[in-house]
Structure 1
Amino acid sequence: MSTPSASAIHPSEVWATVNGMANGFLAMLPLLVAGLIVFLIFWAIASGVRRAVEVFAAKRSEYPSAGVAFGRLAYIGLMLLGALVAATVGFPSVTPAKLFSALGIGGVAIGFAFKDIFQNLLAGILLLIRHPFRTGDEITTGGGFTGTVESIETRATFIRTYDGRRVIVPNSVIYTETVTVITAYDLLRSEYDVGIGYGDDVTTAKGIALEAMKGVEGVLADPAPDVLLWELAGSSKNIRIRWWTRPKRAGVLQVRDRVLQAVAEALSSAGIDLPFPTTQILFHDQTEASDGDRRRQREGWPAGADVPEPRHLNAVTIARLILKLPSSIGLTIMGAVASLLVVSLDRLLPGSRFGEQVVGFVAGIDFHTTLMDGMLSFLLFAGALHVKWDDMRRGRWPIIALSTVGVVLSTAVIGLGFQLIAGWLGLVVPLIWCLVFGALISPTDPVAVMGILGRAEVSPTLKATVAGESLFNDGVGVVVFAILLEAALGTEPLSLGHAGALFLREAGGGVLLGVVAGWISYRAMRSIDEYNVEVMISLAVVMGGYALASKLHISGPVAMAVAGLIIGNKGVAHAMSDLTRDYLLKFWALIDDILNAVLFLLIGLEAITIPWDPRLIALGVAAIPLVLVARGIAVVAPLVVLRPILSLGRLAPLTLIWGGLRGGISIALALGLPDGPARSIALAATYIVVLFSVIVQGGSVERVLNHVRSKLAQPN
Structure 2
Amino acid sequence: MFSTDSLLAQTLSFMPLLITLLIVAIVLWIANYLLIVKKADAGSEKLFSRQLIMLALTLVALLATVFALPVSESSRNQIIGLIGLVISGIFAFSSSTIFANLLAGIMLRMTKPFKTGDFVQVGDFFGRVVERGLLDTEVQTEVRDLVALPNTFMITNPITVTRTSGTIISTSLSLGYDIHNSKIEPLLIQAATNCELSDPFVHIVELGDFSVTYKISGKLEEVKSLISSRTRLNREVLNVLHENAIEIMSPSFMNQRKIPDEIKIIPPKQQVSNESNNSTVDQVIFDKAEEAEQKEQLLEQLKAQLIELNEQLKLAEDSQKDSLKSQIQDLTQKIKSFNNTEDEKKS
Change (3 A) 1:141 1:278: same
8 Å Cα contact 2:203/2:215 also seen in 1: yes
Change (3 A) 1:48 1:264: same
Q: Which has the higher contact order (CA 8 A, sep 6+)?
A: 2
CA distance in 1, matches of 2:60, 2:140: 38
CA distance in 2, matches of 1:109, 1:263: 59
8 Å Cα contact 1:160/1:167 also seen in 2: yes
Which of 165, 173, 177 is the matching residue for 1:198?
A: 177
RMSD of the TM alignment (CA)? Answer: 3.5
Question: How far did 1:156 drift?
Answer: 1.8
Question: How far did 1:180 drift?
Answer: 1.4
If the length of structure 1 is used for normalisation, what is the TM-score? 0.31
CA distance in 2, matches of 1:66, 1:137: 14
Which of 49, 56, 62 is the matching residue for 1:77?
A: 56
8 Å Cα contact 1:50/1:71 also seen in 2: no
Matched, 1:278 2:247: no
Q: 1:235 aligns to what?
A: 210
8 Å Cα contact 1:43/1:79 also seen in 2: no
Equivalent runs, 1:698-709 vs 2, <5 Å: none
The AA in structure 1 aligned to 2:154 is: I
SS in structure 1 of the partner of residue 203 of structure 2: strand
Question: Residue deviations 1:109-137, cap 9 Å, x none?
Answer: 54456552222211111111221111222
Task: Say how many residue pairs are matched.
Answer: 247
Question: How far did 1:24 drift?
Answer: 6.3
Q: 1:162 aligns to what?
A: 142
Question: Residue deviations 1:216-275, cap 9 Å, x none?
Answer: 3xx233xx11233333323333332112214646x2232222222222222222222323
CA distance in 2, matches of 1:261, 1:110: 55
Question: Residue deviations 1:175-215, cap 9 Å, x none?
Answer: 1221111x234211112223333332321222222223312
8 Å Cα contact 1:84/1:99 also seen in 2: no
SS in structure 1 of the partner of residue 102 of structure 2: helix
Equivalent runs, 1:479-518 vs 2, <5 Å: none
Matched, 1:255 2:229: yes
Matched, 1:35 2:25: no
Which of 98, 112, 125 is the matching residue for 2:106?
A: 125
8 Å Cα contact 1:51/1:71 also seen in 2: no
SS in structure 1 of the partner of residue 68 of structure 2: helix
Which of 173, 176, 201 is the matching residue for 1:226?
A: 201
Matched, 1:266 2:266: no
CA distance in 1, matches of 2:3, 2:44: 50
Question: How far did 1:278 drift?
Answer: 0.6
SS in structure 1 of the partner of residue 11 of structure 2: helix
Change (3 A) 1:233 1:21: farther
Change (3 A) 1:252 1:164: closer
Equivalent runs, 1:100-139 vs 2, <5 Å: 100-111=80-91, 116-139=97-120
Question: How far did 1:146 drift?
Answer: 1.6
SS in structure 2 of the partner of residue 276 of structure 1: coil
CA distance in 2, matches of 1:195, 1:67: 49
Question: Residue deviations 1:640-667, cap 9 Å, x none?
Answer: xxxxxxxxxxxxxxxxxxxxxxxxxxxx
Change (3 A) 1:67 1:166: closer
Question: Residue deviations 1:38-58, cap 9 Å, x none?
Answer: 34444566678889999xxxx
The runs of 5 or more residues in structure 2 that have no matched partner are 37-42, 255-347
8 Å Cα contact 1:146/1:161 also seen in 2: yes
Which of 170, 174, 184 is the matching residue for 2:154?
A: 174
Question: How far did 1:173 drift?
Answer: 2.1
8 Å Cα contact 2:122/2:157 also seen in 1: yes
Change (3 A) 1:203 1:122: same
The AA in structure 1 aligned to 2:68 is: V
CA distance in 2, matches of 1:195, 1:75: 59
The AA in structure 1 aligned to 2:129 is: V
The AA in structure 2 aligned to 1:220 is: L
8 Å Cα contact 1:133/1:184 also seen in 2: no
CA distance in 2, matches of 1:49, 1:209: 62
Change (3 A) 1:22 1:178: farther
The structure in which a higher percent of residues are helix is: 1
The AA in structure 1 aligned to 2:237 is: V
Change (3 A) 1:196 1:66: closer
Which of 194, 208, 226 is the matching residue for 2:187?
A: 208
Change (3 A) 1:84 1:246: same
Question: How far did 1:140 drift?
Answer: 1.6
The AA in structure 2 aligned to 1:227 is: V
CA distance in 2, matches of 1:112, 1:37: 34
Equivalent runs, 1:353-364 vs 2, <5 Å: none
8 Å Cα contact 2:121/2:160 also seen in 1: yes
Q: 2:331 aligns to what?
A: none
8 Å Cα contact 1:124/1:154 also seen in 2: yes
The AA in structure 1 aligned to 2:63 is: L
Equivalent runs, 1:482-631 vs 2, <5 Å: none
8 Å Cα contact 2:104/2:152 also seen in 1: yes
Change (3 A) 1:202 1:153: same
Q: Percent identity?
A: 23
SS in structure 1 of the partner of residue 174 of structure 2: strand
The structure in which a higher percent of residues are strand is: 2
The AA in structure 2 aligned to 1:205 is: I
Question: How far did 1:31 drift?
Answer: 4.0
CA distance in 2, matches of 1:22, 1:246: 84
CA distance in 1, matches of 2:100, 2:246: 58
